[in-house]
């Protein structure tokens, strides 16, 4: 037994005691191959996953280093089976490689003939391959590079893509660092992506992911396609590019429902890219419209399935994915790994917070007791209707009003899922409402007014979950959510995390109906926040005082 800070569990979780003298060293080493799952106050939990281990292999770490790290820092003996499993998993990466052959073009090469034969015989792989060159290599149809990577990952043999990237059409882009500078972690993130060619950067909301994308563009110096979640976000990207780079407005195009501009830097929304007319994706030609040197995927955890398919054809282009969380509610983390690239950079929220780049936050669950009539309605409702009944009950409205009064001096967002509920709340609170049908211009006007302090209370639907920059928002009141979605909770909290001018702590309230499924889902979501290390408390609505 040693006095290490790490306890390795047989279920492949790693428990790191944060107050231990060697915790910092240990964290630096294990972060390369283990996914941080929870970071509450005393013991942080990391998990060893195949994707995490393959990410480590992609970054140049081998199984021996990983095992050595575990044995060095582990307080107790590490189970042999775990080490064997770990070495086996890591050994799977890189036995197959995609490379450029001088005469045959794109080829799949193997260092393990048995594995090679196994994958060649797989039904899903065979159609993607061309003629066999020799015992260890086979031609790959260029158009199937992405599909092959996806299929091989599903077979458990992730391929190392060494086939390189096309440079794309050169276009000068430089950072205009007038009065600001890239933060160290942002520079490290850019370096990691550049070294790896493509991959994903994970940074908390408010930590400046957009700037990482912008700096990557300046490094690549080529025409760039930026894919974002919605039009408001597209406009914010454009503003950011104009402010932070030497690009002019003429060089930046918007490709959305309203405008279809194709410029050296084009910002398109997922929505327009996935629009189908007569069963056909009518805007696919955008990917071929220019010889793009870089494709940026903002909020990569939300990437819709059709974009994945389109991305499969873009494997020769440099790609960077930006996100605050790699958790995908649809479980397609593997597709992100194989099609966008491995995770190249990750920084825990609390680390960035400790550096003062994002605001600290307090999370409070406010429990509301239903009235007798609401209780009766809830109890007699069909199971599928119960969440809706509990989530938008009238009792919540009174509590929201109380919370708004309690934080009257703070810029406050009221966030919800159900439009009827938000309509009522907006009316009751006499506050403007932004929802899906609000025109983009009107949204921009309201957001701008909120930023300037002209409006201090805004009711928003889930359209404001992502990519909306509201740096001054310091209180968020969540009245209903998408069931137990953890990434939604993280994104909503993310709206508050921009550092405040006066360094004040942000407050995130979640109003839930006691003894209902709403409380169960809320517990699931709140647990996620507590696991990230945010202080978290539960109070009764009755105990709130103005």
Partner 1 sequence: MAPHADTPRTLTQMLRDWDDKALARLLMSRPDLAVPAPTDYSQIASRSTTRHSVSQSLDLLTAFELWVAQRACALGRPFEQSDSGVFDADSFAEAIAANPGRSDTGRVPNPPDPPDIVNALDRLLGLGLLWGDASSLRPVRAMASSLTTADPETIPDPHAPRFDDAPHQPGDLVDKVAAGSAFELVRRIDVLVEHCDHQPATLVKSGELASRETRTFGALLDLPAPVAGVHLKIARAAGLLGAMPGSDLKLIPTRGFDEWQSLTLAAQWQLLAAAWLDQHERPASAWLKRLTLQGIASIGDFVVLTPEQLHTWVSWQRPRRVPATARLTASILDQAAWVGVTGLGALASFGAALVAATSEITAVSPSASEPSCLAGLLPPRVDHVLVQADLTAIAPGPLDGEAARDLGSLADVESRGGATVYRFSAASLQRAYRLGWRVPDIVSTLERRSRTPLPQPLLYLVHDLKRLPSPNEAFRADQSVSAGHFVHSGPLRAPHSEPEPSMPAEITFAAAQRLVQAIRHTEADAPEESSARPQTSNRIDSPLDTLREAVETGEVVWFGYVDTRGASGERLVLAKSVGEGRLQARDSRTDEALTVPLRRITSAHIIRRTT
Residue 545 interacting with partner 1 (CB under 8 A):
no
Instruction: Tell me which stretch binds partner 1 (CB under 8 A): 105-113, 320-328, 332-340, 528-536.
Output: 528-536
Rounded Cα distance, 20 and 77, in Å: 18
Instruction: Give the pairing type, strands 361-368 and 412-415.
Output: unpaired
78 binds partner 1 (CB under 8 A): yes
Of the pair 9, 402, the CB lying nearest partner 1 is at 9
Q: Which of 22, 61, 75, 388 is close enough to bind partner 1 by CB under 8 A?
A: 75
For 393-403, letters b (16+ CB in 10 Å) and e give bebbbebbebb
Q: Which of 388, 463, 523, 544 binds partner 1 (CB under 8 A)?
A: 523
- What are the DSSP E strand ranges found in 35-128? 35-38, 43-47, 96-101, 105-110
Per CB under 8 A, the list member of 59, 71, 139, 406 interacting with partner 1 is 71
Least CB distance from residue 40 to partner 1, whole Å?
4
Which tokens in the block code for residue 45?
A: 């939990």
Between 157 and 534, name the residue whose CB sits nearer to partner 1. 534
If one asks whether residue 1 binds partner 1 (CB under 8 A), the answer comes out as yes
Cα gap 426→433, rounded to integer Å = 6
**Residue 41 binding partner 1, by CB under 8 A:** yes
Q: Does 21 bind partner 1 (CB under 8 A)?
A: no
Residue with tokens 């996620």: 528
The residue range among 37-45, 295-303, 349-357, 404-412 that interacts with partner 1, by the rule CB under 8 A, is 37-45
27, 86, 334 from 57: Cα distances, Å: 18, 12, 15
List, edge to edge, every strand of the sheet that includes 224-228.
Answer: 252-255, 265-269, 224-228, 294-297, 318-323, 199-202, 343-346
Q: Is 452 in the site for partner 1 (CB under 8 A)?
A: no
Nearest Cα to Cα of residue 530 among 189, 23, 43: 43
Of residues 155, 377, 406, 530, which one binds partner 1 by CB under 8 A?
Answer: 530
428 binds partner 1 (CB under 8 A): no
* Interface pattern 338-377 for partner 1 (x via CB under 8 A): ---------------------------x------------
Binding span for partner 1 by CB under 8 A among 237-245, 259-267, 428-436, 524-532 = 524-532
Kindly tell me which of 144 and 365 has the beta carbon lying closer to partner 1. Answer: 365
What is the footprint of partner 1 within residues 99-128 (CB under 8 A)?
A: none
Q: At what angle do helices 372-380 and 383-391 cross, to 10 degrees?
A: 150
> Pick from 3, 10, 21, 134: which binds partner 1 (CB under 8 A)?
10
454 binds partner 1 (CB under 8 A): no
Closest to partner 1 by CB, 3 or 285: 3
Q: Count other Cβ atoms within 10 Å, centred on residue 455.
A: 17
Residues contacting residue 486 through CB under 8 Å, at least 6 positions apart: 325, 327, 329, 524, 525, 528
Q: Work out whether 76 is an interface residue with partner 1 (CB under 8 A).
A: yes
- 77 forms part of the interface with partner 1 (CB under 8 A): yes
Alpha-carbon gap, residue 59 to 156, rounded angstroms = 18
The one among 142, 246, 259, 537 contacting partner 1 by CB under 8 A: 537
Nearer to partner 1, 85 or 472 (CB): 85
- Residue 330: alpha-carbon gap to chain centroid: 13
Give the residue, chosen from 91, 328, 527, 544, that forms a contact with partner 1 under the rule CB under 8 A.
527
Nearest Cα neighbor of 117 from 104, 102, 129 is 129
The residue within the footprint of partner 1, chosen from 269, 326, 536, 541 (CB under 8 A), is 536
For 125, the token pair is 């792989």
CB-count exposure of residue 194 (10 Å: 0-12, 13-18, 19+): middle
- What are the residues binding partner 1 (CB under 8 A)? 1, 7-11, 13, 15, 17, 38, 40-43, 45, 71, 74-84, 365, 523, 527, 530-531, 535-539
């Amino acid at each position: 037994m040693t006095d290490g800070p790490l306890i390795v569990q047989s279920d492949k979780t790693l428990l790191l005691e944060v107050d231990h003298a060697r915790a910092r060293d240990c964290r630096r080493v294990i972060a390369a191959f283990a996914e941080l799952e929870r970071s509450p106050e005393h013991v942080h939990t990391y998990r060893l996953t195949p994707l995490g281990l393959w990410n480590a292999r992609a970054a140049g770490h081998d199984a021996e280093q990983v095992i050595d790290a575990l044995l060095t820092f582990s307080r107790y003996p590490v189970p042999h089976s775990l080490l064997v499993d770990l070495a086996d998993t890591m050994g799977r990466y890189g036995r197959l490689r995609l490379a450029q052959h001088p005469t045959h073009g794109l080829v799949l090469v193997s260092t393990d003939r048995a594995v090679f034969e196994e994958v060649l015989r797989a039904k899903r792989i065979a159609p993607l391959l061309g003629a066999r060159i020799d015992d260890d290599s086979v031609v790959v149809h260029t158009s199937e590079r992405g599909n092959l990577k996806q299929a091989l990952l599903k077979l458990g043999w992730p391929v190392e893509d060494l086939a390189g990237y096309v440079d794309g059409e050169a276009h000068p882009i430089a950072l205009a660092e007038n009065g600001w500078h890239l933060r160290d972690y942002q520079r490290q993130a850019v370096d990691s992506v550049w070294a790896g060619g493509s991959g994903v950067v994970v940074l908390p909301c408010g930590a400046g992911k957009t700037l990482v994308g912008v700096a990557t563009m300046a490094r690549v110096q080529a025409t760039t396609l930026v894919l974002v979640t919605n039009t408001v976000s597209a406009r914010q990207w454009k503003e950011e590019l104009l402010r932070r780079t030497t690009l002019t407005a003429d060089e930046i195009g918007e490709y959305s429902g309203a405008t279809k501009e194709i410029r050296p830097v084009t910002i398109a929304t997922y929505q327009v890219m996935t629009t189908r007319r007569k069963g056909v994706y009518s805007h696919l030609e955008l990917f071929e419209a220019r010889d793009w040197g870089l494709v940026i995927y903002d909020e990569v955890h939300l990437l819709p399935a059709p974009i994945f398919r389109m991305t499969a054809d873009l494997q020769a282009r440099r790609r960077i994915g930006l996100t605050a969380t790699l958790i995908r509610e649809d479980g397609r983390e593997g597709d992100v790994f194989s099609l966008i690239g491995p995770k190249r950079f990750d920084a825990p929220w609390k680390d960035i917070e400790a550096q003062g780049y994002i605001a600290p936050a307090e999370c409070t669950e406010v429990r509301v007791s239903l009235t007798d009539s609401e209780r009766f309605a809830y109890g007699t409702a069909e199971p599928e209707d119960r969440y809706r009944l509990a989530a938008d009950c009238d009792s919540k409205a009174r509590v929201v009003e109380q919370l708004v009064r309690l934080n009257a001096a703070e810029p406050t967002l009221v966030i919800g899922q159900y439009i009827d509920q938000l309509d009522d709340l907006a009316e009751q609170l006499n506050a403007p409402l932004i929802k899906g049908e609000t025109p983009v211009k009107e949204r921009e006007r309201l957001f701008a007014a909120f930023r300037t302090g002209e409006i201090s209370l805004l009711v928003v639907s889930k359209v404001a979950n992502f990519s909306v920059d509201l740096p001054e928002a310091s209180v968020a009141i969540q009245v209903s959510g998408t069931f137990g979605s953890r990434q939604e909770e993280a994104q909503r909290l993310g709206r508050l995390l921009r550092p405040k001018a006066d360094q004040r702590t942000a407050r995130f309230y979640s109003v839930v109906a006691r003894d209902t499924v709403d409380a169960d889902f809320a517990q699931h979501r709140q647990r996620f926040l507590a696991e990230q290390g945010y202080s978290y408390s539960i109070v009764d609505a009755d105990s709130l005082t103005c």
